[in-house]
């Protein structure tokens, strides 16, 4: 499973997460929340957005039923694109980054994605 966290520190990685990346200054406005995409070509991906527009209602949609104009299809495309420029969070390695407000945030691994701000 792959994970991407937007604008939040990563404190630990859960067992099923084999790769986690973090991006601080995404040039896209996504609703806050956790998005879980399964059944995709490159393997499942979890996207956690810590700041952004207000979240909508929870929903479950089969990937095969996502039309190009569905909001979750757009979010999935952004998740894949943002991963390409995101920093890799290595297990056992601490990272010191600045968030969008200029505050220092520490992220490290291993063992659940916790993207809450300090």
Residue 66 domain flag = yes
Query: How many domains is the chain built from?
Result: 1
Residue 114 domain flag = no
Residue 58 domain flag = yes
- In angstroms, the CA 11 to CA 26 distance is 20
Contact 30, 53 (CB under 8 A): yes
pLDDT digits (tens, 9 = 90+) for 13-61: 766 787 889 998 888 888 888 899 888 888 888 999 888 888 888 888 8
Residue 115 pLDDT > 50: no
Q: Which domain holds residue 100?
A: 2-107
pLDDT digits (tens, 9 = 90+) for 73-111: 888 999 999 998 898 887 654 344 444 444 433 333 333
Look up residue 114 and give its two tokens: 């916790």
DSSP H helical ranges for the chain: 71-83
């Amino acid at each position: 499973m792959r994970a991407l966290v937007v604008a939040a520190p990563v404190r630990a990685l859960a067992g099923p997460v084999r790769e986690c990346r973090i991006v601080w200054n995404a040039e896209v406005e996504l609703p806050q929340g956790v998005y879980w995409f399964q059944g995709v070509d490159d393997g499942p991906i979890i996207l956690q957005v810590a700041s952004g527009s207000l979240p909508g209602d929870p929903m479950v949609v089969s990937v095969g039923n996502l039309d190009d104009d569905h909001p979750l299809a757009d979010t999935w495309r952004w998740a894949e694109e943002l991963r390409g420029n995101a920093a890799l969070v290595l297990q056992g390695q601490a990272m010191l980054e600045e968030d969008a407000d200029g505050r220092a945030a520490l992220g490290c691994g291993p063992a659940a994605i916790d993207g809450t701000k300090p």
